[in-house]
Structure 1
Amino acid sequence: MTDLKIKLKCEDMIKYGLLALNQYPRSEKYGMGAVTKSAMYELLRLIISCNHKYYKKTTLQDMDVQLDILRTFIRLAAELGYLPFKKYEVWSAKVDEIGRMIGGWRKTIVLQQK
């Protein structure tokens, strides 16, 4: 069985994100770093869960919310100087790509219901 492209992209984003979290200062690795890491894992969990559900609409909405939470944490880390701009740029691009994929998935679900 082949994996979903969005799942593979999310795994790739998590790998990059874990490397980027090493840039955080020690005082924030167990604060904001831990919360950001759990947000990434929750997003992956929602993607896997949505793939196995018959009614996907609410799970897709939860994925959208979780993605927005992750974007906020990444942007906040960059603004506070915990993350170099280049890493912020690459990480944000990966998150945005996942967001576009979630948006496309939501559109197909809405079209299927009509």
Structure 2
Amino acid sequence: MEDRNMKNPLYLQTKMENIRRYSHDALFQFPKKERYLLCRQIEDCIERIIREVIRFQKRYYKKNTLQEIDIELEFLRGLIREAREESYISNGRLADWMGHVDEAGKILGGLLKFYQEKEAGRSGK
């Protein structure tokens, strides 16, 4: 992934939409009893992240919104690990899913670093 993608909020939104599609396929394989609890939590978490990414694009002060996205991404990782612990997904599915989430985390990290440097440059002037 190129450095310019790390600073592009639209790339993060696209990545999260890809994660939503991947998650939909993965969640379809969960047992029926979990579709209304763990599946719903995972879907809601992804929707909150996408909503926060959109909010990030519209705000002037972006750092707090990026921190909210970071918190939600970590919560999503926890839910995915919980699904593996309950044996709802295989180790291969876990690795693929976490790979997608980690890539979104790297994009988010690039955005955080960019806006922290931008803020430091503005306050240093």
TM range, smaller chain? over 0.9
Q: How does 1:1-114 map to 2 (within 5 A)?
A: 4-114=10-120
The residue type equivalent to 1:7 in the other structure is Q
Could you tell me the percent identity over the aligned residues? 32
The residue type equivalent to 1:58 in the other structure is N
1:84-103, Cα deviation, whole Å (9 max, x unpaired): 22221111100000001101
- Structure 1 distance, partners of 2:62, 2:107, is 14
Deviation at 1:34, TM superposition (A): 0.4
Greater Rg over alpha carbons, structure: 2
The residue type equivalent to 2:107 in the other structure is M
Structure 1 residue ranges (4+ consecutive) displaced by more than 3 angstroms after TM superposition: none
Deviation at 1:23, TM superposition (A): 1.1
TM-score, normalised via structure 2 length:
0.87
TM-score, normalised via structure 1 length:
0.95
The residue type equivalent to 1:76 in the other structure is E
Structure 1, gaps ≥5 residues long: none
Q: How many residues are matched?
A: 112
Highest relative contact order (Cα 8 Å, sep 6+), 1 or 2?
2
